[in-house]
Structure 1
Amino acid sequence: MTIQEQFREALRLEEQGNVTEALQLYTNILKIDNSYRAALINLGSLYYRMKQFKHALDCFLRALQLKEDYIVLFNIGSLYFRLGEYKKAIITLNQCNTYNPDFFIALLVKGIAFSKLNNYKAAIICFKEVIKKDPSNKVALTAIILLYYEQKNYTDALRYLQQYEIYHDSFRFREITSDIILQCAHNNNGELISYSLQKKGFRKFNEYIATIPSTIFKDSKGTIDTKIQQLEQEIRKEPTPQALISLSLCHLFIGNDQTALQYLAKAAKAV
């Protein structure tokens, strides 16, 4: 068989799942012609899938010497990341984006690499760029929500949480959503709620919602349903931050966490 026929046969074996035979054939091709770039790339991809990252890296580096392109650079950057060489990963992924600025996956991996180096400011910049290019990107949205939340930047965490909810089920963020609302309520007659949180240290949604006494929503103005109606009428006349946060808490208590989130966002704008 000619070298081209061997390459086609290796592709066929790979497509059929005969990885070992395909790997051997790609290796044989490179013994005949060590500059056969397509064989180097396919062999590197096979090693990557087999989690033999050092062998994969060697293949892609050899392919890069023959010709630079953004896909090979991305593979090399991803492999450096896999091997824990985060600085090298960032440098290589920068090169990748120089060739193709719209290839946002490289930005995503770079953001995670910055996170591994505890450079959260740079990580957030990367994730923001990914979200600009791909507004529904689940990984970037998740990462930026958690980073802002851990930094106690509740305003930005809330903003990206709302964007996440447009595209994805936000159940996984129910705890964070609730905590943001309760943090905001801390400065608005939320003494009972904040005291309960500080004393018991609850972080699960159902646990700390259970610590809110129902009497907080049942006063001289009536039941919680009546209170919601009255607060809705109040904000139609004058949407004060206090009324909006109170309405947010009411909805949180009865389990309408998405509605609670919406009212909290309005409260933030009204400040």
Structure 2
Amino acid sequence: MNRKRTPRVDTLEAVANVLRAYRELFEGNLIKALYYVDKALELEPDFYLALFLKGLALSAKGEIKEAITTFEELLSYESKNPITWVFVGQLYGMSGNCDEALKCYNKALGIENRFLSAFLLKTICLEFLGEYDELLKCYNEVLTYTPNFVPMWVKKAEILRKLGRYEDALLCLNRALELKPHDKNALYLKGVLLKRMGKFREALECFKKLIDELNVKWIDAIRHAVSLMLALDDLKDAERYINIGLEIRKDDVALWYFKGELYERLGKLDEALKCYEKVIELQPHYIKALLSKARIYERQGNIEAAIEYYNKAVENIHKDHGE
């Protein structure tokens, strides 16, 4: 005997299928999850949770366009959920459409103006689009709600640095370091900024703190520290940092060049030549190394070799610039 279908029976069966879909989605069985969610939607086409799970399953499968269509269908029934807008925005972002993603995040923030996830995703879009003035406004708004959010102070400083507003950037970094004195990103960026501002000793202190006190062995931080030590004629520490860096990355061109410069200053010209040769071996078009070799040969009276390397430097000018 066939069981009579009623709206209540359909609703209960749709709920049961959604629960099955949720279980399959949780276990990573995406095709089964989509099967059950479609069964639910056959019974209840405007079932919000079913549409939401379908969007999640499709996005997990990498079917971004279809996932966007599903979430937009959900929004046509219920457009006041900021979480759904954020999901759609992320999908647009994944598809490379930052303009549409930005509209979605603004929709979410129009519903819930302190939705931190929407703010953070919005800042990623604005940075990608190069909308720096708008991005700074967004950072300022977030910081009015979460004034102790250290990563936001650091990101704000990074954008201000890009805009050439070094003093303002420094204020942001100092605020970040007041809140978290050992924040690695803030210390690194402060060192880079102070170096750009010509405050070499202050910059070096930042990198020393990172490398010696906090044991942060970022190769970029080591390069910056070495270049500052050479500029300040701190040759002993420069050699130690170069060796630390080369233990991490034996083929680092910049560190081998710095090592050649160090030996040249110490009068160890043959050792310097070996370092510059290593640079050229790793990067044949490195003009500064070619010129340095030419200079040393000239100092040693080997004019023929000096001319050879001066000529090589001239020949490689365009190659060194990627032309």
TM-score interval, smaller chain:
0.5 to 0.7
Structure 1 contact 130–140 (Cα < 8 Å) conserved:
yes
Aligned in 2, Cα 1:126/1:48: closer, same or farther, shift over 3 Å?
A: farther
CA deviation vs aligned residue, 1:1-42 (integer Å, no higher than 9, x gap): 301221122123323433232222111111222323221110
CA deviation vs aligned residue, 1:54-103 (integer Å, no higher than 9, x gap): 00100011111111113322322332222111111111111111112232
SS in 1 for 2:232: helix
SS in 1 for 2:164: coil
Q: Which residue number in structure 1 is paired with residue 261 of structure 2?
A: 208
Aligned in 2, Cα 1:12/1:141: closer, same or farther, shift over 3 Å?
A: same
Greater than 6 Å deviation, 4+ residue runs: none
Query: Which of 121, 145, 150 is equivalent to 1:75?
Result: 121
Structure 1 contact 175–204 (Cα < 8 Å) conserved:
no
Structure 2 distance, partners of 1:18, 1:136, is 42
Aligned in 2, Cα 1:164/1:208: closer, same or farther, shift over 3 Å?
A: same
Q: CA deviation at 1:174?
A: 4.0
Structure 2 contact 190–203 (Cα < 8 Å) conserved:
yes
Structure 2 contact 208–225 (Cα < 8 Å) conserved:
no
Q: Which residue number in structure 2 is paired with residue 154 of structure 1?
A: 200
RMSD: 2.6
Query: Which of 117, 131, 134 is equivalent to 1:85?
Result: 131
Structure 1 distance, partners of 2:158, 2:111, is 29
Q: Which residue number in structure 2 is paired with residue 47 of structure 1?
A: 92
Q: Which residue number in structure 2 is paired with residue 169 of structure 1?
A: 217
For 2:108, give the aligned amino acid. A
**TM-score, normalised by the number of residues in structure 2:** 0.55
Alignment of structure 1 residues 121-136 onto 2, 5 Å? 121-135=167-181
Alignment of structure 1 residues 225-236 onto 2, 5 Å? none
SS in 1 for 2:265: coil
Query: Which of 47, 54, 60 is equivalent to 2:105?
Result: 60
Aligned in 2, Cα 1:144/1:155: closer, same or farther, shift over 3 Å?
A: same
Identical columns (%): 20
CA deviation vs aligned residue, 1:91-136 (integer Å, no higher than 9, x gap): 1111111112232232222112212221011112223333444555
Aligned in 2, Cα 1:157/1:60: closer, same or farther, shift over 3 Å?
A: same
Q: Which runs of 5+ in 1 are unaligned?
A: 187-202, 216-271
Q: Which residue number in structure 1 is paired with residue 68 of structure 2?
A: 23
Q: Indicate whether 1:14 and 2:59 are aligned.
A: yes
Q: CA deviation at 1:170?
A: 4.5
Aligned in 2, Cα 1:50/1:125: closer, same or farther, shift over 3 Å?
A: farther
Structure 1 distance, partners of 2:142, 2:221, is 33
Q: Indicate whether 1:34 and 2:46 are aligned.
A: no
Structure 2 contact 81–111 (Cα < 8 Å) conserved:
no
Q: Which residue number in structure 2 is paired with residue 190 of structure 1?
A: none
Structure 1 contact 53–83 (Cα < 8 Å) conserved:
yes
Q: Which residue number in structure 1 is paired with residue 228 of structure 2?
A: 180
Whose relative contact order is higher, 1 or 2, with alpha carbons under 8 Å and at least 6 apart? 1
SS in 2 for 1:124: helix
Query: Which of 173, 191, 195 is equivalent to 1:145?
Result: 191
**TM-score, normalised by the number of residues in structure 1:** 0.65
Residue range with higher mean Cα deviation, 51-60 or 12-21: 12-21
Structure 1 distance, partners of 2:54, 2:153, is 35
Q: Which residue number in structure 2 is paired with residue 117 of structure 1?
A: 163
SS in 1 for 2:172: helix
Aligned residues: 200
Please tell me whether Structure 1 or Structure 2 has the larger radius of gyration of its CA atoms.
2
Structure 2 distance, partners of 1:16, 1:102, is 38
